[in-house]
Amino acid sequence: METHENEPLNQENGPPVFKSWNQLYAFVLILHAVIILLFYLFTQAYA
Amino acid sequence: MHTLDWIVMLGTLLTIVAYGVWKTRSVKSVQSYLLGDRDLPWWTIGLSIMATQASAITFLSTPGQAYEDGMRFAQFYFGLPVAMVFLAVFVLPIYYRLKVYTAYEYLEGRFDLKTRTMAAILFLVQRGLAAGITIYAPAIILSSILNWPLTPTTLFIGVVVIFYTVMGGTKAVSVTQKQQMIVILTGMFIAAIILVLKLPTDVSFSDAVGVAGKMGKLNVVDFNFDLSNRYTFWSGMLGGVFLFLSYFGTDQSQVQRYLSGKSLAESRLGLLFNGILKVPMQFLILFVGILVFVFFQFNHPPVHFNAANVDKLKGTAYEQQYNDYSDQYAQLNDQKEAEIRQMIQAMRQDDDASLQSAQNRYETISQQEEEVRDNVKGIILEQNPGAKTEDTDYVFITFVTTYLPIGLVGLLLAVIFSAAMSSTASELNALATTTVIDLYRRSFASNKSDHHYLQMSKFFTILWGGIALLFALIANLFDNLIEAVNIIGSLFYGVILGIFMVAFFMKKIRGNAVFIAAIIGELIVLVIFVLDKYEVISIAYLWLNLIGCILVMILSQLFSLGSNRDEEIV
């Protein structure tokens, strides 16, 4: 199998809605943190 | 089972399979067969990734786990979104740049052939074992509850999956998974709604959640750091991240899903789609288990959920004893229901004193119930010493077959079969791809025609399907099926991930160092697992992922330093 590690990537599209991939990554991680916080509040509310 | 349920179940399953085979009838090259022409959009990739991970075990075992142990299992998935982002940033671009068929192909360019072959073999061993459980798990449970014979049920799942995976390759897997995932999500959502509708008229949804909370079932997040506790925030975020990095980044059954994307961007979005939806989806499945728990507080549950175990007591000296325990259990249930209604009243009136005393009485009755359940397990074992008495995997399916209306039983059974087929199809497809690309074409038959490799890919799909079926037919039931699959994964994933982490981030380390480090690392992981099994030490299995990975990285560095010194001396 041939490999071409030094070839540039094919032209890459940006993500939909967000301006950059970094913004989308941040969105996923912040959303996850919010979900965990909500789970924590849920746990506390019914403990 | 009612005729309408048969029609719904078989109609749903066979329509999906027929659609998958028809859509992929033009697959004629090995690239198309193994990579699906790389033309899939992100939502198909995302659903395919989710369907691959969510096996039938997920839908049978997880609600039962919530019923028994509450919602803390959700923490197992906390590391997943972090892993998705990591893979999208660092790993996907490398795979795309190298245009690889398998994850292990990359290791040869980075290290050497032996490291690639070892990683491929580690994958084949653990995934081959898991594929057997993926087929066996739903077959044993469905056959027990529905009185279907086990072997034909196992063969039905296995043969249908092998058929469409052989016919259409990876594209058939992805196309069918999209439909299967839609059926799965719809079915589980309907189950949740029915459970809420089936609550007694004087018990609201809010009351039901309150009751579950008072029973300690809504323990989603636990921040206590305890290495021996399987599910905490820390085991999920640390051990879980490593498990999911390894599973999604180096397990071919997942890598193959996103390598069939139209572009790097589509594959990234597919991974992130999974990162966003997976944790809420698991929460929903666990919450269905909680609703089943509340449902059975107001409706008599069987004293033992595995009907096959109970059937074996009939006509024996133990039958009368079982009936007595069953009656006793029903009476305790009535008492418990009365206490729950007291608790609901107290919660509505904010009467903490009444709530506490009702809760104390409830707990006393629960302990008595547990004793009765243990006694029933005792007579099951006396009558059949080889019986498996753990019955949490049977809780949800018992509810489905006993309390859902006609038609919906068929739909929920289609959910379970769909889940079994979707994950098994990915596994067989990946096992065949790795065998052909990393072993057969690379080391045994390197200059054959495209048609030859296509035929061999189909042959190895059938072969692995046969091995998985054989394993499924002779396997024994683990105490908890979903944990069994995760434990098998954790034994190997850490080391495989370690090899890839060294490849990605420790650029100076060569093949020999990582190869020896991986062998030693795997042995240490296995020794830790055995020591834990025999209670010499206590360490939850999720940590094995982290330990295996760190060991390979540290040992590679040490061996690399040693070999550099040797080279300097020479």
In one letter, which amino acid is B356? Answer: Q
B265 touches chain A (CB under 8 A): yes
Q: B305, B394 in Cβ contact below 8 A?
A: yes
Tokens of B272: 């992130």
Cα dihedral B66, B72, B73, B77 sign: positive
Q: Residue A23: closest CA among chain B residues belongs to which residue?
A: B85
Short-list B235, B245, B278, B256, CA closest to B541: B235
The predicted structure's pLDDT at residue B229: 74
Residue whose pair of structure tokens reads 């080279």 in the numeric block: B567
Q: What is the rounded CA–CA span in Å between residue B274 and residue B325? A: 46
> Between B85, B97, B264, which is nearest A4 by CB?
B97
Rounded to 5 degrees, φ, ψ at B447 are: -120, 50
> What Å distances lie between residue B125 and B131, B182, B431, B523, CA to CA?
10, 31, 10, 15
Please list every residue in chain A whose beta carbon sits closer than 8 Å to the beta carbon of residue B223.
40
Q: What is the structure's pLDDT at B569?
A: 44
Distance from CA of B81 to the nearest CA of A (A): 7
Name the pLDDT band for A2 (thresholds 50, 70, 90). Answer: very low
Q: How far is CA B360 from the centre of its chain?
A: 36
pLDDT for B74: 92
- Residues of A near B (CB-CB distance < 8 A)? 1, 3-5, 7, 9-10, 12-16, 21, 24-25, 28-29, 31-32, 35-36, 39-40, 42-43, 45-47
Question: pTM of the entire structure?
Answer: 0.84
Residue with tokens 């305890």: B226
What is the structure's pLDDT at B100?
87
What's the CA gap between B70 and B53, in Å, rounded?
22
3-state secondary structure B48-114: HHHHHHCCHHHHHHHHHHHHHHCCHHHHHHCCHHHHHHHHHHHHHHHHHHHCCCCCCHHHHHHCCHH
Strand, coil or helix: B519: helix
SS3 B261: strand
Q: Tell me whether 0.90 is exceeded by the ipTM.
A: no
Q: Among B454, B421, B367, which Cα is nearest to B169's?
A: B454
Shortest Cα distance from B240 to chain A (angstroms)? 14
Tens place of pLDDT per residue across chain B (570 aa):
889 999 999 999 999 989 888 887 877 788 888 877 788 889 989 998 998 888 887 888 889 989 988 999 999 999 999 999 999 999 999 999 888 888 999 999 899 999 999 999 989 988 888 888 888 878 877 887 788 888 888 888 889 889 989 988 888 888 888 888 888 889 889 999 999 999 999 889 998 898 899 888 898 888 888 777 778 899 888 878 888 988 899 889 899 889 888 899 999 999 999 999 999 999 999 999 999 999 999 999 999 998 889 998 988 989 999 999 999 999 999 999 999 999 999 988 888 899 899 989 999 999 999 999 999 999 999 988 878 888 888 899 899 989 999 999 998 888 888 888 888 888 998 999 999 999 999 999 888 998 999 999 999 999 999 998 888 877 655 555 656 777 888 888 889 989 999 998 898 898 899 999 999 999 999 999 999 888 888 888 878 888 999 999 999 999 988 766 554 444
Closest-CA distance of chain A to residue B273, Å = 9
Report the pLDDT value the prediction gives residue B228, as an integer from 0 to 100: 76
Q: What's the pLDDT at B375?
A: 95
* Rounded Cα gap, residues B135 and B137, in angstroms: 6
- Quick one: DSSP state of residue B313? T
- Cβ–Cβ gap A36/B74 under 8 Å: no
Nearest CA in chain B to A46: B213
Q: Sign of dihedral through CA atoms B282, B47, B121, B103?
A: negative
Q: What is the pLDDT of residue B453?
A: 92
Is the separation of the CB atoms in B176 and B169 below 8 Å?
no
Rounded Cα–Cα distance for residues B323 and B50 (Å): 43
Distance between A38 CA and the closest CA of chain B, angstroms:
10
* Three-class SS state of B40: strand
Asked if B221 and A29 come within 8 Å (Cβ–Cβ), the reply is no
* Residue A7 confidence (pLDDT) above 50: no
pLDDT, tens digit (0-9, with 9 covering 90-100), for A9-42: 444 678 888 989 999 999 999 999 999 999 999 9
pLDDT at A12: 63
Distance from the Cα of residue B188 to its chain's centroid: 16
Q: Which residue of B has its CA nearest to A13?
A: B265
User: Residue B40 phi/psi, 5° resolution?
Assistant: -85, 140
Q: Nearest-5° angle of CA B32, CA B37, CA B42?
A: 135
Examine the pLDDT at A6 and tell me if it is beyond 60.
no
**Among B58, B80, B280, residue whose Cα is nearest residue B184:** B58
Contact B485, B419 (CB under 8 A): no
Q: Shortest Cα distance from A28 to chain B (angstroms)? A: 6
Are A47 and B218 an interchain contact pair (Cβ–Cβ within 8 Å)? yes
When scoring A28, A31, A34 by the number of chain B Cβ atoms within 10 A, the one with the most, hence best to mutate, is A28
Which H, E and C letters describe B352-415, residue by residue? Answer: HHHHHHHHHHHHHHHHHHHHHHHHHHHHHHHHCCCCCCCCHHHHHHHHHHHHCCCCHHHHHHHH
CA closest to A2 among chain B residues:
B98
Nearest by CB to B81, which of A12, A14, A29?
Answer: A29
**Residue B520, pLDDT score:** 96
Q: Which chain A residue shows the shortest CA-CA distance from B283?
A: A39
The answer, for B470 touching chain A at a CB cutoff of 8 Å, is: no
- B111/B118 Cα distance (integer angstroms): 12
Per-residue confidence (pLDDT) for residue B563, from 0 to 100: 67
Residues of chain A contacting B279 with CB distance shorter than 8 Å: 32, 35
Q: What is the pLDDT of residue A10?
A: 45
Q: Tokens for B522?
A: 């795997």
